[in-house]
Chain A
Amino acid sequence: MIKAILIFNNHGKPRLSKFYEHYTEDTEQQIIRETFHLVSKRDENVCNFLEGGMLIGGSDYKLIYRHYATLYFVFCVDSSESELGILDLIQVFVETLDKCFENVCELDLIFHVDKVHNILAEMVMGGMVLETNMNEIITQVDAQNKMEKSEVNQDLTYSLFYLPV
C-alpha cells in the first residue's frame, strides 16, 4: 500500500502532498521536511530507494523517489509494493501530467493543485494502485475536463442572461 505521495522542489518547498494514512498536521510537515532532507542529499548516481525514515513507520517502509529537473516525486510505500513497479508508476504519473498540461512545469503544479490531485486520484485510490495505463487515466481526466468546460460555458450564458441589454 502507498502511504504518502509527496512532490517538492529542489528547495524543499512542497508542491503536492497526499497522505493515505492519518497523521497530525505537524507530523505531516515533519515527514515532508525529513523526506526532503533524506532525498536531497543523495547523489544522482545512487539508487532510487531509501529505507525507513523514523516518522513514516520504520523498517517496513520505503521511500521510492525520482528527481526531475526541479522536482522530486517521492512515494512512500510499504513492503507489499514492488520497488521497481512504483518507480515506473512515478514515470507514468509524470508522463500523464505532461500530457494533461502539455509540457508540464513546476508552475502547473502550483497553480493547478486541484487538477494534479484529480489526476492522482485516477491513478491511486485510497493508497491502492487503481490504474497504470496512461491513456485510461487521461480519458477519465478528459471526461471531467469536458464537463468543466461545459459548465463554464453554462455559467457564461447564465450571466449573459441576466446582463442588462
Chain B
Amino acid sequence: MSDVVEKTLTALPSLLSLDSQPGSAKLSSTSKLGNLIRGITELTSKHEEEKLIQRELTSIKDQVSSPNTSMRQMKELMVRAIYCEMLGYEASFSYIHAIKLAQQGSVLDKRVGYLAVSLFLNESHELLLLLVNTVLKDLQSTNLIEVCMALTVVSQMFPKDMIPAILPLVEDKLNHPKEIIRRKAVLALYKFYLIAPNQVQHIHNKFRKALCDKDPGVMTASLHIYLQLIKENSEGYKDLTASFVTILKQVVGGKLPMDFNYHSVPAPWLQIQLLRILSLLGKNDQSTSEIMYEVLDESLRRAEMNHNITYAILYECVKCIYTIQPKSELLEKAAKCIGNFVLSPKINLKYLGLKALTYVVQQDPKLALQHQMTIIECLDHPDLIIKRETLELLFRITNGQNVTVIVEKMLDFLRISKDDYTTIDLVGKVAELAEKYPFETMNTVFSLGGDMMQPDIPNSFLKLLSEGFDSDEEDRKLRLFAVDSYVSLLQSEPNKLPQRFLQVISWVLGEYSHLSAELEPATVMTLLSKLLDLKHTSSETKSWVLMAMTKLCEGGVAISVAQDIYETHSSSMDTVLRQRAQELQHLSQDSELRGRVLPRDAGLMPLEVDSSLSFLDGFVSEALAAGAAPYKPPHQRQEELAQAKALSLEPYSLSLPISMSSCSIADRQSPTLMSMSSGLSGDSTDLSHKGGSTTLKLDGVKRVWGREGYLAQREPVEETAQVEVPSPLRSPSQQAEADSTQSQTPTPTVTPELEQDKQQLASSLFVGLGSQSSVCLMGKSDPTPQRFRRKAQGRASSSGASEKTPTSLGSTPSPVDNLLCNSLLDSNLVSEPTNQTPQASQSLDTTNGNCHEELTDVKENNPSLIHNNEEPDKPKDLCLSSHLPTELSGLSHSEITPLCSNQSVNLSACHVQKEDSLQLVIFIFNSSDSALQQMQLQVDSGELKVNYCLSLITDSPVEEVRSHSVAVCHYSVTVKRPSVHVEVLGMLSYQLPGGTPQTIQFSHKLPLTTFIRPLTLSTEEYGSMWLAFSQDTKQNLTLINDDQDPLTTTLNVLKKKLQLHVVEIIGVEGIVACQLVQDQPCLMHCRVHAGTLAVWLRSPVPDLPDCLLYHCQRALQEH
C-alpha cells in the first residue's frame, strides 16, 4: 500500500507544473483556491509570497463582509483563509465569520465553520463565547453528524467557565445508542477532566460504565481517562486490576471481532494502553503484580510475529515487567527481549532497545554488561539520536570508577553537537555528575582541558574545596579523598599531567595531606620533589610545589628532603623559586615559626586584608628618615623617564615589555595595583580583589623588606599567596599541551587495534557494574588507584600509537603537513622573473641591512641574471603581491618585508588581517638559474599557533621551484600566548641540482596589534564580562590634550591605531573592548584623572593586558 502512495507522490512535481493534466482537473483548477496556490507555487521569493497573500487576504476580507456572499461562497472563503493562516499569515477578520458559518450554515457549511473555528481560535479567545450556544444547539440535534461535530470542537477547545453549561448534555451522550457518539463523549469528558478536574468528579461512576461498555471502541476511549486517573492516584483503582487483566486476556486471546485486528495483531493500540495501565498499578505492589504475571507472560508469548506493531507491544510488556514487582522467570524473558531489540538491525528497534536498557539498568546492571559491545558500537553510531540515547544510558550507570571515561564521552559529544536542546541537556548531566563525583569529574576536566583552561576554573575549584560544603564531616571526607586520589596519581605518571592540574594537586597535598593518618609528610615531600625534577614542569608549577612543601616539612626525613631542595633551588635563576626555596629552608628549621606562619586550616578563616599596607608605615618612615628615596610607582617612573627624553635611551623608553621579561610578575604588578586600588578597586569582584591584593601584599613584602628578620610578619601573606593567580611564565608547559593534544588524537583505525580499543573502552565504561563479569575488569578491591592506573594506561597506549608516526605537532612536519607544504611550494606561479629595481633594494635596505648586503652581492656576482630578465620597471613588492593566494588577493596586505636571502633564494613575507585570524604569506623567490629541489619550509613559533593553508594551484613537480619564479606558502596564525611581539621562526631547506642540501633560516616579528580585533558589545555585556576576568593591569597613560574632549580624542586614536572598539563614553570615563583573534577578549576601563588617562585592563588571558597596554602607550606616543 505504501508503495502505491509513494509512487503517486513521486508523480507530483509533474502534476504541479501542468494543470491541464487529468490529475489536476479534478482539483477544480478554476477555483480561487486553485488560483491562489498556483500563484504561490510560481513565486520565487518570500517577499513576493507575502505580497500575494496580503492581496488575497484583502480580497477575502472584502468578500466575507459583503452581505451578498452566500454560505457556499463563505465556505470556500474560509478554506482559503485556513490556507493563509497555515502559511503563517493572520486572518483575524475571518474569525467571526467562521463562527457565523458554524452557527447559521447547513450541516456541510457548519463543518467547515467548526473546522475553521478550531484552527483559528484557542480556548481563551473571547469570540469563543459566541460559539457556546451553537454547540448547545448542535449537541441536542437529531443529526448524528452535527452532534459529532459539536463533540469534536468541544474536545479541541472549550472555555473552562462554560463547561457546566454543556456538561449535562455531554454526560447524556454516554447513553447514546450510537457507539461513535458514546466514544466521542467519553473523550470530551476526559478533556474536561484535564482542564477542570473538579467539574467531573461526580461522574466517575459513568466512567466505570464506559469501561464496561459493550462496544470495545468506547471501552478503549475510556482507557485514556483511566490511564490519567491511575497515574495520579494508583491506590484508588487497584480494584480494577482484575478487570484490566481480563480485558487484556481477551484481547490477546483474539476474542475481539476481526475488525479490530491490525496486520493480524488483535487491537495493538488497546494492548499498549492496557499494559501501561497495568505497569502503573503493579508498581511497588506485590499482590497486584501477581495478578498480572500470567497475562504478561501470555502477551510476551503471543507477540512474536515480526511486524512493527508487535514490537511496540513487546516493548510495553518489557517495561511493564521491569516496573512491577519482579518475577525472575518473566525478567529472564524480558531481558532476552531487550537483547533482541538492542541487537536488531532495525534502527528504530535499536533505539527502543537502548531506551529499555536505560530504563532497566539500575535494577539490572548486568544486562548492560551483556550488551556492552553493542553499546560501544552505538556510541559511534552515525545517528546522533542513537548516540545521545547511549550517553543517557551511560549516564545511568555512572559510578565512581567509570565517571571519568563517561564524562569524557559526553564532552566529546558536546563538542560536535550543534543542537541547543541536546547541549543544554548534556551540560546539565555533566554538571550533575560533577556534583556527585566532584573529584573524578574535575580530574577529567583538568586532564583534558589541561592548560587551555581558563585559570579561573582551578582557582574556583580550590576555593570550593577550602570553603567546603555543608557538613564538616563531608568536607573532611572529600578532602581526604582528594588527597588519596592525588597521591596515587603522582605515584603513577605525574609527567602526563597538565601544569594546572599539578598546581592544584600540590596545593591540595600541601593543605590537606595531614588529614590522612597513614600518609607520612615525608612521603608526600618525596612525591612532590619528584615533580621538581621533571623536565617539563614550569617554574610556576615549581613554586606551587615548593609552597606545598613548605607547609609539609615536618619530621626528620622531611627536613632533609627540604634541605636537598633548598640546595638545588637556592641558586635558581628564577627569583621567585629562589625565594620559595629560602622560605622552605627557614621554616623547616623553625617549626614554631612555621606553626605561626602557616597554621593548619587557615584557609577557612576569613582573611583581613590590609590593602593600604599600613603595618609597613613604621618601617617606611624609618627608612625615609634614614635617607631612602620615596617610593614611586612604575608608571610614574616611566612618565618621568618619558619626559626626560635626554636620559631615556632608546631601548628603555618603552620600559614595560622589558620589565615584563626581566622581572617577576610580582614586581611588575604590585605598585600599579597599589596606586590604583584606592580609586578603582570598589567595582572589582571579591575574588579578583582578593587575588589582586594578595599579589600586592606578597610583593610589597618582598620588595621593601625581603630580609629574613621580618619573616614573622609575613603570616597573612603566605596564606593568601596560595590562591594567588600565578605567573604566566611557562614555556615548558607547551610541551605538556602538545602531549595532551597528542593523547587526544584518535588511534589509527586498524581493525584489530580498533577491536582492542573497544574492549578497553568497554572495560573502562562498564567497570563496577557487575561483580562477576569476565570482561570486566581489573578487580574491585581498591577502586581509586585503579581508576587512575587504568586511565594512565589508556593514555600510554594512545600516545604510544602516535609515537609510531614519528612526526606530530612538533617542529618536524608530519607527512600530511609535508604534502600540503610541498604542494604549496610547488605552486610555483611562474612569475615574470623579478628584477631588482633600485626601489626594491632600497626598501630591503631600510628594513634589513644584512639582506641588502647579500642582495647586492648577488647582483655583483651574477649580473647576467638581472640583465637577462630585463622587465619594465616594476617594484618587487607589487610583483610579489600578485602572487598572493587568490582568497587573500582582494584583502589589503601589509608591506612585503624581506626575511632573508642568499645566492639562490630570497624570502619575503607579508600578512593579511582577516576577521578571525592572521594570514601569513611567505614568498620564496628562486633567484638562481636552476630549479630548487626538495624544498621544505618549516615555520614554528612559541607564541603562535601556525596552521598550514592550502591555497595555490600547483602546476609544477613536487618540491620544486623553477628558476626565477616564486612559490608562495600561506599560513593561518593565531596567538597561543600573547606577547608584545610574536616571533615566527622558519627554516627553508632545499637543494640545487647536483648540489648539497642547504638550509636558510629566518625570523619574522609580528606586533601583537596585528592580532587585535574590535570586540563589539553592549555596556551590559561589558559589565558582566568585566567581573568574570581575572587578569588585570592598571597604568596611567598620557592624554592627548589638543581638544576640548581629550578622552574622546585619545580613545579615537587608540581605536584607529589598534582597532579597539569604544563601547561607551560617559563624562570622564570610557570603556573600550577588543579581542585577540579567536575570542580572547580584553576589556579596558579608562578614566581621566589629574591630567592623565588612568587605564585598567582586564582579560581572562594572562599577559594580554600588559601587552596591550604597551601598544596603547606606544600608539599614544607616536601620535
Contacts and interface: CB of A to CB of B under 8 A. Distances in A.
A22 B157 contact: yes
B9 interface: yes
A118 B348 contact: no
A54 B420 contact: yes
A100 interface: no
B90 A88 contact: no
B82 A113 contact: yes
Given A70-B9, A82-B316, A98-B1, A88 B309 contact: yes
Contacts of B28: 111
Nearest to A30: B88
A22 B10 contact: no
B180 A133 contact: no
B145 A143 contact: yes
Contact of A126 (B4, B108, B191): B191
A95 B27 contact: no
A83 B111 contact: no
Given A88-B312, A117-B115, A140 B180 contact: yes
Main secondary structure of the interface of B (DSSP, over half): helix
A82 B107 contact: no
Given A69-B10, A85-B309, A125-B152, A114 B112 contact: yes
A46 B308 contact: no
Given A47-B347, A128-B190, A147-B108, A59 B425 contact: yes
B500 interface: no
Contacts of A155: 72
B995 interface: no
B16 interface: yes
Contact of A14 (B34, B87, B383): B87
Interface stretch (B268-276, B464-472, B931-939, B1054-1062): B268-276
A48 B9 contact: no
B123 A144 contact: no
B23 A118 contact: no
A69 B5 contact: yes
A50 interface: yes
A14 B151 CA distance: 27
A87 interface: yes
Contacts of B227: 80
Given A70-B10, A98-B4, A140-B180, A47 B272 contact: no
B5 A95 contact: yes
B2 A95 contact: yes
A40 interface: no
Contacts of A148: 108
B188 A126 contact: yes
B421 A84 contact: no
B122 interface: yes
B8 A111 contact: no
A16 B82 CA distance: 10
Nearest to B82: A113
B382 interface: yes
Interface in B383-434: 383, 385-386, 388, 419-421, 425
Interface in A92-108: 92, 94-95, 98, 103-108
Task: Please classify how large the interface on chain B is, using the bins under 10, 10 to 19, 20 to 34, 35 or more.
Answer: 35 or more
Contact of A111 (B27, B72, B90): B27
B635 to A, nearest CB: 50
B1013 interface: no
Given A85-B312, A107-B24, A91 B2 contact: yes
Contact of A48 (B348, B382, B421): B348
A114 B79 contact: yes
A151 B309 contact: no
B183 interface: yes
A49 B385 CA distance: 8
A114 B10 CA distance: 23
Contact of A20 (B111, B156, B221, B419): B156
Interface string B196-210: 000000000000000
B352 interface: yes
A46 B383 CA distance: 6
Contact of A105 (B15, B72, B124, B152): B15
A24 to B, nearest CB: 9
A68 B115 contact: no
A136 interface: yes
Contacts of B88: 25, 28-29, 32
B187 A130 contact: yes
Interface in A45-86: 45-54, 58-59, 68-71, 80, 82-85
Contacts of A125: 151-152, 155-156, 184, 187
Nearest to B76: A114
Contact of A144 (B145, B347, B421): B145
Given A25-B88, A47-B350, A85-B272, A126 B33 contact: no
Contacts of A108: 27
Nearest to B381: A46
Contacts of A83: 312, 315, 348, 351-352
Interface string A113-148: 110011001000110111111011000100110011
B315 to A, nearest CB: 7
Contacts of B351: 47, 49, 83
B221 A46 contact: no
A127 B105 CA distance: 27
A106 B12 CA distance: 7
A34 B902 CA distance: 61
A161 B931 CA distance: 102
Given A88-B308, A98-B1, A129 B11 contact: no
Interface string B298-317: 00000000001101100110
Contacts of A49: 348, 351, 385
Given A82-B315, A91-B2, A117-B119, 14 more contacts: A20-B156, A51-B388, A53-B421, A70-B12, A82-B316, A83-B351, A87-B312, A88-B262, A106-B9, A118-B115, A130-B183, A131-B217, A135-B259, A136-B217
Which 8 pairs between the two chains have the least Cβ-Cβ distance? A69-B9, A126-B155, A84-B312, A22-B122, A46-B383, A29-B88, A103-B8, A47-B347
11 contacts: A16-B86, A59-B425, A69-B6, A83-B348, A88-B308, A104-B8, A105-B9, A126-B152, A133-B259, A133-B262, A148-B108
